[in-house]
Amino acid sequence: MAVSKRASSSPASSGEAAFEPTRAARRHLVQPWPVAGEIGDEARGLIGEGDGVHVSDGEGNWLIDGPAGMWCVNVGHRRRELAEVLHDQAMALSYNSPWYTMNEPSARLAERIAAHAPGDLDHVFFTTGGSTAVESALRFMQFYNNVRGRPEKKVILSRGGAYHGSTFLSASLNGRPRDRDWMDGVDDLVVKLSCPDPFRRPAGMSVESFSDKLVAEFAETVERIAAERIGAFVGEPIMASGGVIVPPPDYLKRIAAICRDNDILFVSDEVVTAFGRLGEVFASQSVFGIEPDIITFAKGVTSGYFPLGGMVVSARLFDEIRRSNRSEAMYAHGLTYSSHPVGCAVALKNLDLLEGGILEHAREIAPYFQDRLKSLEELPLVGEVRGAGLMACVECVADRESRNPLTLDKEVGKRIDAHCHELGLLVRPLIHMCVMSPPLIITREQIDRMVAILHEGISRTMDDLR
Ligand code: PLP
């Protein structure tokens, strides 16, 4: 006889033992990014509730949400306005098929996003998140070149340190070693360039010369592969998961110019940087002075209250496609949840909140946030604190002179995280780095507390390593 599986029900109704979420998760819930030795049996800490910039853990302790979930809870937790919209839109229309019909929230949101996007970027396609946004942009590039009669123009340029997602093609662009060590990708379609990390530039080289070197590498790569074969460059304006890597000034503008001269689409992956993280709805033009062909977004578009992403595309590309003589060709790409009415309604209200003062607050408080975090550089374990807007990274090094992270205890980030957790702060450790990207509503007092805890957490880690 087959063993029956029964889901746990509430103890009140069944008289069974109390539900233990961490136990059930270890048995049945597969977590993202597990390592082989623990896959399918991972112990991860429970998050209970969220409120403002705080979340509670399994023991009911309240912690500052240092990473805002995963760079996404921009307007903060427990926003009644967003909860009400979720409810009201689900009651009005919970779903419609985007294949045959459309809904009002998605049309309104597309119009508002188009108004914020730079240049002629005014056509919006909605997806379920960031990976599907990047995937959609890449498939759009393929379609665009196919209908223009340029089927050879498909190579994608990406960079070391990049993170663009977990679907097959978007993940093929990822440049952090651990993301690709054990996972396959579409390697014949992707060419990787150097990571534009000024902290890791060759010893003795100025940032200006480093920028020249990166731009020269880009130009040489275009020359070597041939512009006729390259469809797109995909880049985060600031590499987020790679360690908040702020590229040298003008680097992005110079890359964008090469792309324009060579008919290579510039895809600016703003999954993290859009919707307020840098104080603007989109940062490509307002912060970096570039006008990409496509911008991808997700995360902050709904502040994480609903899984939604998308891409906003230059009208010129649509004109070219329409003008091609391939009117029968179908952009055979769509998701069941494209243009989801609930997600789009939440995003509209989220945008109201951002425009109603949160963007302004983010712009005002960002220098204080960066300044206070920078003070952590007085600790010998800290090699550099860098960032922009409300995103920052504390990078630890084994030796400040050589900036060498390699001989560091690999668990250093985890150690800092554990100490900070005890002290009341959630950290996002990335091996030897701690990334900070709190909800944009964070106050000066909360920043002070965050930095004080980090200082103590890092000091305790230094004691551990002695
Ligand atoms: N692009 C960037 C820059 C990201 O940081 C991420 C996720 O962290 C993604 C794409 C993938 O987004 P998602 O996890 O929503 O699929």
Q: Is 144 left (phi over 0), alpha (psi -120 to 50) or beta?
A: alpha
For position 4, what pLDDT does the model report?
45
163 CA distance to ligand 1 middle (Å): 7
Q: Which atom of ligand 1 is nearest to the CA of 131?
A: 16
Distance 193 CA to ligand 1 centre (A): 19
Distance 170 CA to ligand 1 centre (A): 9
Ligand 1 contacts CB of residue 237 (under 6 A): no
What is the residue with the minimal CA distance to atom 1 of ligand 1?
Answer: 164
* 361-396 confidence digits (pLDDT tens): 999 999 999 999 999 999 999 999 999 999 999 999
Residue corresponding to tokens 């779903």: 95
- Check residue 407 and give its pLDDT: 65
Contact call for residues 131 and 166 (beta carbons, < 8 A): yes
CA distance 127 to 294: 14
The pLDDT value recorded for residue 405 is 67
Say what the pLDDT of residue 408 is.
Answer: 66
Q: Which residues of the chain have pLDDT under 50?
A: 1-4, 6, 8-12
Q: Are 363 and 439 in contact (CB under 8 A)?
A: no
Query: Ligand 1 centroid to 160 CA: how many Å?
Result: 16
pLDDT digits (tens, 9 = 90+) for 302-324: 999 999 999 999 999 999 999 99
User: Could you tell me if the CB of 130 is within 6 A of ligand 1?
Assistant: yes
Give the residue, out of 272, 282, 296, with the most ligand 1 atoms within 8 A of its beta carbon, to mutate for a pocket test.
Answer: 272
CA distance linking residue 426 with residue 418, whole number of Å: 9
Question: What does the pLDDT read at residue 323?
Answer: 94
Instruction: Please report the sign of the dihedral spanned by the C-alpha atoms of residue 199, residue 205, residue 206, residue 212.
Output: negative
CA distance 11 to 257: 63
What is the Å distance from ligand 1's center to 289 Cα? 23
CB burial readout 57-91, b (16+ within 10 A) else e: beeeebbbbbbbbbbbbbbbbebeebeebbeebee
Packed helices 130-147 and 315-323: angle between N→C axes, nearest 10 degrees: 40
| Alpha-helical runs (H) found in 313-411 | 315-323, 341-353, 359-374
Is there an atom of ligand 1 within 6 Å of 163 CB? Answer: yes
CA of 133 to the centre of ligand 1 (A): 9
H/E stretch holding 446: helix 444-465
Q: Distance (Å, rounded) from C-alpha 365 to C-alpha 190? A: 39
Q: Is the ipTM above a cut-off of 0.90?
A: yes
Q: Would the CB of 72 count as within 6 Å of ligand 1?
A: no
| Rounded CA separation 196/211 (Å) | 8
Q: Please report the pLDDT score of residue 91 as a whole number.
A: 98
Q: What is the pLDDT of residue 399?
A: 80
The residue length of the chain stands at: 466
